[in-house]
Chains A and B, each alone.
Chain A
Amino acid sequence: NAGVTQTPKFQVLKTGQSMTLQCAQDMNHNSMYWYRQDPGMGLRLIYYSASEGTTDKGEVPNGYNVSRLNKREFSLRLESAAPSQTSVYFCASREGVNRDYGYTFGSGTRLTVV
């Protein structure tokens, strides 16, 4: 099925460990996004990629890095995980940036840092 695929779905890390969250979309969308969602809160933008080869910071970029590997894939890396990064991470893509283009989200990665 067409859409946004995130892996893994669940992950437990120890403080200080590193990991990469993977995201791929097959809709030929130009822009891609990483959000985090904490309990009872909305989504906060971590990083986004306007197009292949470009990335920019969102609201809460500290502690994260991203790579737009190609048009399909956008990965999020935690270099040294901290308990404050325990959250659900969502990847999204969007065809364009005009108002008419809605976001398509993946099903999320639930990350726990102990």
Chain B
Amino acid sequence: LAKTTQPISMDSYEGQEVNITCSHNNIATNDYITWYQQFPSQGPRFIIQGYKTKVTNEVASLFIPADRKSSTLSLPRVSLSDTAVYYCLVVTGGFKTIFGAGTRLFVKA
């Protein structure tokens, strides 16, 4: 199972764009990259998933370079309600998915 490394915490201000980078050096050919968001006292929630290049949905964008050894979650114009923990996962398929410690994002007014 591929291990991921991401910053422990990040601070931002309302209205700014936030980019959270995750490294996954030993990602396998068939692995996907998935990001989850977790608010206090709630379970994690799926945000976005991608394999290569760029994926965008109504919540975020995901940038994956050609070598796929890292990925960047981009949150446009964050608000206070985006304060949460963000988990980067490499999903191989099967039943055992590793959730690392995640990145704690604090959005300030």
Tell yes or no: B63 within 8 A of A by CB: no
Please report the C-alpha to C-alpha distance between residue A43 and residue B95 in the assembled complex, in whole angstroms.
Answer: 14
Least CB distance from B94 to A in Å reads 6
Chain B residues, Cβ within 8 Å of A44? 99
Partner of B99 from the list A42, A56, A104 (CB cut-off 8 Å) is A42
Q: How large is the interface on B (under 10, 10 to 19, 20 to 34, 35 or more residues)?
A: 20 to 34
Given A42-B99, A42-B102, A43-B44; A102-B87 close (CB under 8 Å) = no
- 8 Å CB interface, A44-95 against B: 44-45, 48, 50, 56, 58-59, 90, 92
- Whole-angstrom distance from the CB of A96 to the nearest CB of chain B? 9
Residue of A at shortest CB range from B34? A102
Chain B residues touching A, majority SS: loop
* CB atoms of A99 and B42 under 8 A apart: no
Give the contacting residue for A92; candidates B30, B43, B87, B91; CB below 8 A.
Answer: B43
Contacts of B13 in A (CB 8 A): none
27 A/B residue pairs, CB under 8 Å, sorted by A: A41-B101, A42-B100, A42-B101, A42-B102, A43-B44, A43-B99, A45-B96, A48-B96, A59-B96, A90-B43, A90-B44, A92-B43, A99-B31, A99-B32, A99-B91, A99-B92, A99-B93, A102-B49, A103-B36, A103-B44, A105-B42, A105-B44, A106-B43, A107-B41, A107-B42, A107-B43, A108-B42
Q: Nearest 5 pairs between A and B by C-beta?
A: A105-B43, A102-B46, A43-B99, A42-B99, A99-B32
Q: Mark A residues whose CB is within 8 Å of B.
A: 4, 31, 33, 35, 40-45, 48, 50, 56, 58-59, 90, 92, 97-100, 102-108
